[in-house]
Structure 1
Amino acid sequence: MDLRVLTDEKLLQLLRANNEQAFKEIYTRYWKLIFDAAWHRLGSRETAKELVQTIFLRIWEKRHSIHIIHLQGYLKTAIKNSVVNYIEATMVHKKYLQHVVHTGSATCQGTESALTFHELSQAIEKAIALLPEKTRTVFRLSRFGHLTIREIATSLNISEKAVEYHITQSLKTLRLYLKEYLDIAL
């Protein structure tokens, strides 16, 4: 059966019935449209690819429960929201780092510590980069976006327990990665 001739509604029905070919057709039909929208807004091909992949992954994972009426409109809205969330998280993170560097430099003046706040913020960035994508997203929304567990669960369409798990995992990883910095600080 040539899925290219099917309507979006029929493809969504097949998707709900676990038809991987229907999912591939939806991806083939729409990935470039939403990738271009993200790339145009962000100017970063890698970030745009990551956001598009996350949207399609979420559709596949939630294929049994997701209720999409107009597929193209759903995807356009999903990528727009993903871009906005990414930009907000990035801006909050940059403001936080600027605050740490600014207040940290005033606090650390005169100390003999070889560790600067700039180095610490770089180490934090490296540690965050080690986290799996979903855990990293949850951590950024929690710590830099100052969202509650419930708000994160709602925005990412996952359970509150999953949010708690991701936060716990990220803090464990950060503690291990930043252990030497914590030892120096103490």
Structure 2
Amino acid sequence: MNYKVFDDAILLKLLKAGDGAALEEIYARYSEMVFLAALKKVRSKAIAEELVQNLFISLWVKRETAQIQNLPSYLQSAIRYQVIDYIRSQLIREKYYQSAKEQMVVQENPSESRLLLHELSIAIDNTIKKLPQKTQEIFRLSRYEKRSTKEIAQHMNLSEKAVEYHVTQSLKFMRLHLKDFIIVELLLHTL
């Protein structure tokens, strides 16, 4: 079936029914538009790509309940919210990072700093171990070995979209699980 001939309304109906090819066509039509909108705000190609991936994952997850009248407008609004959430999380992260940095300067015991770093490293390793095996491997190749999406896709015999999905999911998982660890550590050392 040639999805390129379908208008947005038909694609949305097919998407709502769980047709993955409809999502692929929507992605093909609008991913560049939303990528450029995100890139304009975050000024980082990698971050903009991650936000676009998150947007389309969210579109798929919410396909049955989303009330979309105008697809381009919906996607523009959705990417705007993705950017706002990203910037908000960066501001919070920067605030905590700055607080931790100041705390490290105040600390006179360097062994305590090494201990905190060691505990964080253990928390990261333990969080990675909670990921599915394939996602763990893709995360390590991406973040530890600094391999590109294309290299990982070739190495693991996957599509680049599949690799991007695994990286995105692992980053979300890491942020979610390490957020509490870092906040608790900061609170303990600021009291």
- With normalisation by structure 1, the TM-score equals 0.63
Query: Helix, strand or coil for the counterpart of 2:111?
Result: coil
Out of 114, 117, 120, the position equivalent to 1:120 is: 117
Residue type of the alignment partner of 2:42: L
Give the CA deviation at 1:25.
0.9
Structure 1 residues 91 and 53 mapped into 2: Cα distance closer, same or farther (>3 Å)?
same
Cα distance in 2 for residues equivalent to 1:45 and 1:20: 26
Q: Secondary structure at the match of 2:101?
A: helix
1:133 maps to: 171
Instruction: Give me the TM-score of the superposition, normalised by structure 2.
Output: 0.62
In structure 2, relative to structure 1, the CA distance for the partners of 1:103 and 1:133 (3 Å cut) is closer
Work out the percentage of aligned pairs sharing the same amino acid.
30
The residue that corresponds to 1:184 in the other structure is: none
Report matched runs for 1:82-121 at 5 Å: 82-106=82-106, 108-109=107-108, 111=109, 113-116=110-113, 120=117
- 13-22 or 32-41, which moves further after superposition? 13-22
CA distance in 1, matches of 2:119, 2:51: 24
Indicate conservation of the 8 Å contact 1:97/1:121, yes or no: no
| Structure with more relative contact order (C-alpha pairs < 8 Å, separation 6 or more) | 2
One-letter code of the match for 2:57?
A: L
Residues 93 and 53 (structure 1), Cα distance of their counterparts in 2 relative to 1, 3 Å cut = same
* Equivalence for 2:4: 4
Determine the structure 2 residue equivalent to 1:153: none
Aligned twin of 1:157:
none
Report the alpha carbon displacement of residue 115 of structure 1 after superposing the two structures with TM.
Answer: 4.3
Deviations 1:8-59 (Å, cap 9, x if unpaired)? 1111011112222211110100000001111111111111111111111111
Closer, same or farther: CA 63–72 of 1 in aligned 2, 3 Å: same
**What is the CA distance between 1:2 and its match in structure 2?**
3.1
Q: 1:121 to 1:83 in 2, by over 3 A?
A: farther
Aligned residues: 141
User: Is there any run of 5+ residues in structure 2 with no aligned partner, and where?
Assistant: 132-169, 186-191
Extract unaligned runs of 5+ from structure 1: 144-166, 179-186
